Amino acid sequence: MPTFTFVASFESILALGAVPILVDIDDTLTLDPKAVEAAITSKTKCVMPVHMCGSMADLDALKAICEKYNLILLEDACQAPGGTYKGKPLGSYGHLGCFSFDYVKTITCGEGGAVITNNAEFAKHADHYQDHGLDHVGKDRGAESHPFMGYNFRISELNAAVGLAQLGKLDGILRTQKENYTTLREALKTIDGVTFRRVPEGGEENYSFLNFFLPTEELAKKAHKALSENGVDACFYWYTNNWHYINGWEHLRNLKSLGNLPSEVKNQMQDLNNTDFSKSDAVMGRTISSLIKIGWSEKQVKDRTEAMKNAIASVL
């Protein structure tokens, strides 16, 4: 899994009694395939690219690695619904894909998520596991059997109904996001020193974030401060963010838990306080991400564009 993600990524792995192995990201802002292959051992079971901020990893390269070593390719597409890679929706390229529909995502049902797969066994396991391990055979819930242990991860009927309605709005949301994104990007690309996150060939973002690089970490910090001082909201400097980058995950690095973690997990975890993630640091330290909102008026987009240009240019 990548060093840039949400804490839920490693939480879900630890909840299964498995061991998350973190590796560097590249200029896609997600998994570096070379770092992934270098980290594979005989105990590796799965590779999990996280399509952060609306775009994808080098999926062809990761798929080739998974085929070479007989591993599961699990796409975390929680921040990228509607994005595509070589004509396929993100989340559908690997063996499984997962999505989040909480209130800050592209489409929302308040809280909840989804798993997709074309593997019948994986689908059955997901169906049973999220509902106490029940097999869902017949119409008498009390008579259902438990093929294995599960937990209560069910989405409610009300949340699901809202989610279905939101799905019908996705295409329109993506169109608006793309329009606003394009306006901002066209303006920022005229600034000498600003470059953009790499989108792998054949991929199309969902345009939920505009992700750009400054030449140095120092300039990125100054630009982020200038954006805030110029009234530009929803610009994120992930390098110092406690939710999304390993620098803020002190609880994971030191394995702080209310209960005892299994010895198999503790004994096989990386020493994350001393692991070299300098390649990730070199990317994240220069990255700023601007959220793309669909509620902006034409004037608000224009005003934001000018404010962002002026703020960034002021530090370069």
34 as an active site residue: the answer is no
Q: Can you read off the two tokens belonging to residue 173?
A: 């949301």
Q: Does residue 161 come out as left (phi exceeding 0), alpha (psi in the -120 to 50 range) or beta?
A: alpha
Q: How far apart are CA 180 and CA 108, in angstroms?
A: 20
Catalytic entry in 34, 43, 68, 105: 105
* Cβ(197)–Cβ(55) below 8 Å: yes
Angle between helices 298-313 and 170-188 (to 10 degrees): 40
Q: Which residues participate in catalysis according to the annotation?
A: 105
